[in-house]
Amino acid sequence: MRKVLVVDGTFLKSKYKGVLLVATALNGNSNLYPIAFGVVDSENDRSWDWFLRHLKLVVADERSLAFVSDRNGSLCKAIENVYPLSQHGICIHHLLNNVVTHYIGKGLVGLIAKASKSYRVVDYEKLFHAVCNISPAIGKYLTDAEVGKWARCQFPGYRYDMRTTNPAESINSALRRPREYPVIPLLDSIREMLTRWFFERRNLSRKHTKPLTIAIGKKIDRRIRKGRTFLVQPVNEHRFLVLGDTIDCLVDLDRRTCSCGKYDLLKIPCRHAIKAGLTVGRTPSSLTDDVYTTATWRTAYQETINPIGVPEDSWVVPDVVGNTNVLPPESRRGAGRRRKRRYVTVEDKLRSSQGSQQKRRRKCSRCGEENHNRATCDRAI
């Protein structure tokens, strides 16, 4: 499993509203792998701190861990407080939307997107300088947003190819209907979804016999085809100069690096590394990170997500649970002044009904006569 967690929140649509918080990763086959869910009143400092502290019980804080999220202030603060060792990246889609919303920067979105995707620092710097020359204001905004959080080649850790919060939003989309349910049916729907996903992917991984997962195997095949015409010049036993692409690249198979930058950041051999490896009899699977292997893929689904196997009337509820006073969700008043009405008496109701009976006489908007409307009017005008 890639050590990158995408965290996001989505609104619930049941009677009591609230927010569903999600933390998810991607497995080696690029499938969603949910880690944690939480139901809270709203996205605020307290709720995000509570969610991440419970997440920390199963996902330890370490420098190799990375988070990807939007720029929600409460979430950013909670990550900094609860996971101080981890790295934090922001979703490029949210950043680009902010540029379009707050600046006249639609024409620069393409340049910024390319800069964020760059694998080499030199390519990033060229694109970023072009953005700053066209719009210094946008350049300052991007700098204030911390370049290391949105530019792939400047990120201090490894976020692989996870540049957006799309994984979490995909889970939110899969739960579009259950988000209208009360909390207990919502959580049971999540359990049903995970049970189905684990069963299907466990069977799929068991049937797969190749060393790399299906998605990565297809990616490797495409790169093999693209690198067929490259020329390889050995430098020593593990370093090679690969010629024939848009730039000449120096590959180090032992260190798993390439001067194109892609191998370093994605941990999947680029077309240059694949060509160099095949030249000396090293297969692409031997050059790929363990998170993309079929063995790791199978391990991720070796456990099962079980339903509650005991009928509700047979549950043994611990005292600590039974004695807990469950409070209703916090509610917030909507905007605007509250309407004040006095108690409606019987006389008020009678007067209202009499008045409404008198006011029920409506005239046709076409001819002006009573007892019919425009749709049924047959008067000659």
At residue 99, what are phi and psi to the nearest 5 degrees? -60, -45
- The pLDDT tens digits for 293-311 are 999 999 999 999 988 877 8
Helix locations, 301-345, DSSP H: 319-322
Per-residue pLDDT, 161: 87
Token representation of residue 292 = 């993309």
pLDDT tens sequence across 130-187: 999 988 989 999 999 999 999 999 999 898 889 999 999 899 889 999 999 999 899 9
Residues 6+ apart with CB under 8 A from 360: none
pLDDT of amino acid 50: 96
Q: What is the CA radius of gyration of the chain?
A: 30
Contacts of 158 (CB under 8 A, 6+ apart): 2, 3, 4, 64, 66, 265, 267
Least confident of 12-21, 215-224, 348-357: 348-357
* 258/274 Cα distance (integer angstroms): 11
pTM (whole model) above 0.85:
no
CA distance 355 to 137: 63
Name the residue type at position 33. Y
Neighbours of 67 (CB within 10 A): 22
pLDDT in the model for residue 349: 54
For residue 26, pLDDT over 60 is answered with: yes
Q: Are 166 and 70 in contact (CB under 8 A)?
A: no
* d(C-alpha 22, C-alpha 7), whole Å: 6
**Cβ–Cβ < 8 Å for 175, 190:** yes
Q: What does the mean pLDDT of the chain come to?
A: 88
Mean per-residue pLDDT, 182-199 = 94
264-292: b or e for each residue (b if 16 or more CB lie within 10 Å)?
bbbbbbbbbbbbbbbbeebebbebbbebb
Residue range 248-274, pLDDT digits in tens: 999 999 999 999 999 999 999 999 999
What integer pLDDT is reported at residue 67 of this predicted model?
A: 96
Contacts of 98 (CB under 8 A, 6+ apart): 71, 141
